[in-house]
């Protein structure tokens, strides 16, 4: 097939499913997409070199900056923002020949777990249109799941790649903190944020990770650690060998398979674990007593950092419709106030208030400082567990995708759903989510298993290569 044919068929598929799914906030005009594809075809015809992602159609979460498209982060306050630059991850994708052809929906600034927090639209789960796709990268997960695009980028501050991957039955990878440059990623909580990958196979996600990883002088926290070839090291498992994974030490996190986790989720994950045992892994239970402290620590730290990061949205540098005339003196103050009042959604405002409170003089020690101390405890407990095990396992979420509206007015219930993922961000570790079964009850929704590796050991992935195609 030619790049043009592929692009045409994906544009067609995208459009066909978009009325039901609403996974995209923006799609490039056909002629621009087809022109890029045509150029690739010409290069191939002339035997010129094309990158490893030549013709691959990519969806990018709308909090990642793209030069020729809007980048709203799901917020009204950035409705008119057209970045004059590409995020480093996007630039790299384009250099590899990928065609970035759309921007996907998200909870405003990445704050949420359903996409219901988007200022623009709610995305539906392709497996059941009355359910949420998860979030905040719900648009990317739904788009890959419905094959509206081949692969997609998301961002993961506390689970925003892994939980929607689980809800939509696709592969989601959260890289080690610092593996991928955050330059051009709209900041939510900078010490936790990382750009991640969605694909329909482990190999796809590996190729995607290959092309976006590496040091970047525009992000001081990006790592100089060498980037291994993730893609070529996905050695197919030899099923003829009786125990192809012999010797691999798998630690099952005890705290993640008990109370508060749906029984269908537990049984799917448990049966995946027995499969690992059949393949030769040495499975043992590990206890992380600090596991449940992750949620409160995460919400304090993420809110605190976001209250600082979001102070830059003042309605001046990127103006909103109708706020252009007030510019001086008192009017400047009301320009800030009015723009923020109008341009930011309620979840975002609540987090700014929470974060400002936690950081304020009289409360800093009681909240922010303690949360940092808890973070250290969590980081150390994961390190210990990963000294004794090659990977750690848990469900990706305590439930399958729930109904749209179900938790919309119950923030605490929504936050509680992040219990499986937030610790991994606090510890800065890589984690892969794979579909591992279905809720056998009436819902029939996909269940995801989470595999956590040591820092910069994304290649734990080789273990599951080809397992699920």
Q: Which is nearer to ligand GLN, 156 or 390 (CB)?
A: 156
Which residues does 433 contact at the CB level (< 8 Å), separation at least 6?
Answer: 161, 162, 165, 166, 171, 172, 173, 396, 448, 449, 450, 451
CB-based closest residue to ligand GLN: 160
Q: Minimal distance in Å, beta carbon 433 to ligand GLN?
A: 13
Out of 61, 92, 174, 407, pick the active-site residue.
61
Concerning whether 136 is annotated as a catalytic residue, the answer is yes
Q: Residue 173: beta bridge partners?
A: 197, 432
Q: Minimal distance in Å, beta carbon 167 to ligand GLN?
A: 12
Out of 136, 137, 381, 394, pick the active-site residue.
136
Q: Which is nearer to ligand GLN, 315 or 417 (CB)?
A: 417
Other CB atoms within 10 A of residue 30 CB:
14
Q: Minimal distance in Å, beta carbon 45 to ligand GLN?
A: 42
CA atoms within 13 A on the CB side of 115: 37
Q: Minimal distance in Å, beta carbon 106 to ligand GLN?
A: 8
Concerning whether 22 is annotated as a catalytic residue, the answer is no
Q: Minimal distance in Å, beta carbon 402 to ligand GLN?
A: 14
Looking at residue 368, what DSSP letter applies?
I
Concerning whether 166 is annotated as a catalytic residue, the answer is no
Other CB atoms within 10 A of residue 47 CB:
7
Q: Any alpha helices (H) in 161-293, and if so which ranges?
A: 162-168, 202-212, 263-278
Residues 446, 167 contacting (CB under 8 angstroms): yes
Tallying the residues shown for the chain, one arrives at 469
Please give the residue ranges that form the binding site for ligand GLN (CB under 6 A).
Answer: 110-113, 136, 156-160, 188, 302, 418
Q: Which is nearer to ligand GLN, 3 or 78 (CB)?
A: 78
Out of 28, 71, 160, 399, pick the active-site residue.
160
- Distance of alpha carbon 65 from alpha carbon 326, whole angstroms: 28
CA distances from residue 448 to 144, 268, 332, 451, 468 in whole angstroms, order as listed: 15, 8, 49, 10, 12
Q: Which is nearer to ligand GLN, 172 or 435 (CB)?
A: 172
Q: Minimal distance in Å, beta carbon 332 to ligand GLN?
A: 31
- Distance of alpha carbon 56 from alpha carbon 97, whole angstroms: 7
- Distance of alpha carbon 403 from alpha carbon 138, whole angstroms: 14
Q: Which is nearer to ligand GLN, 193 or 219 (CB)?
A: 193
Q: Which is nearer to ligand GLN, 189 or 276 (CB)?
A: 189
Q: Which residues are catalytic?
A: 61, 136, 160
């Amino acid at each position: 097939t030619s790049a043009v044919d592929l692009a045409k068929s994906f544009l067609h598929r995208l459009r066909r499913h978009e009325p039901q799914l609403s996974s995209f906030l923006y799609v490039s005009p056909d002629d621009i997409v087809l022109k890029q594809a045509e150029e690739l075809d010409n290069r191939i015809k002339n035997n010129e070199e094309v990158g490893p992602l030549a013709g691959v159609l990519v969806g990018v979460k709308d909090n990642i900056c793209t030069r020729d498209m809007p980048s709203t982060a799901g917020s009204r306050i950035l409705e008119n923002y057209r970045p004059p630059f590409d995020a480093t991850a996007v630039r790299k994708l384009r250099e590899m020949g990928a065609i970035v052809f759309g921007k996907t929906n998200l909870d405003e600034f990445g704050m949420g777990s359903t996409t219901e927090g988007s200022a623009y639209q709610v995305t539906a789960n392709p497996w059941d249109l009355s359910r949420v796709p998860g979030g905040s990268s719900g648009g990317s997960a739904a788009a890959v799941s419905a094959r509206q695009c081949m692969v997609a980028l998301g961002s993961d501050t506390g689970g925003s790649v892994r939980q929607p991957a689980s809800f939509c039955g696709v592969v989601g990878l959260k890289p080690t903190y610092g593996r991928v440059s955050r330059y051009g990623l709209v900041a939510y909580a900078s010490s936790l944020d990382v750009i991640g990958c969605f694909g329909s196979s482990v190999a796809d996600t590996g190729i995607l990770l290959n092309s976006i990883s590496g040091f970047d002088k525009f992000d001081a926290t990006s790592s100089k650690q060498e980037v291994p070839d993730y893609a070529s090291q996905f050695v197919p498992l030899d099923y003829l060998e009786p125990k192809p994974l012999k010797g691999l030490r798998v630690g099952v996190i005890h705290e993640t398979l008990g109370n508060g986790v749906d029984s269908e989720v537990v049984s799917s994950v448990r049966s995946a674990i027995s499969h690992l045992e059949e393949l030769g892994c040495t499975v043992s239970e590990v206890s992380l007593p600090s596991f449940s402290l992750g949620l409160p620590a995460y919400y304090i730290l993420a809110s605190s950092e976001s209250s600082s990061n979001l102070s830059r949205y003042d309605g001046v540098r990127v103006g909103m419709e109708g706020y252009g005339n007030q510019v001086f003196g008192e009017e400047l103050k009301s320009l800030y106030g009015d723009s923020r009042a109008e341009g930011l959604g309620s979840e975002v405002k609540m987090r700014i208030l929470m974060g400002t409170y936690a950081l304020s003089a009289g409360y800093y020690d009681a909240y922010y400082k303690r949360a940092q101390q808890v973070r250290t405890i969590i980081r150390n407990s994961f390190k210990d567990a990963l000294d004794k095990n090659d990977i750690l396992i848990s469900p990706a979420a305590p439930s399958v995708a729930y109904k749209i509206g179900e938790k919309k007015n119950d923030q605490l219930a929504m936050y509680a759903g992040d219990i499986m993922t937030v610790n991994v961000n606090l510890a800065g570790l890589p984690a892969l989510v794979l579909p591992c079964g279905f809720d056998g009850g009436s819902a029939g929704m996909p269940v995801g298993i989470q595999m956590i590796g040591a820092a910069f050991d994304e290649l734990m992935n080789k273990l599951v290569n080809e397992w699920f195609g």
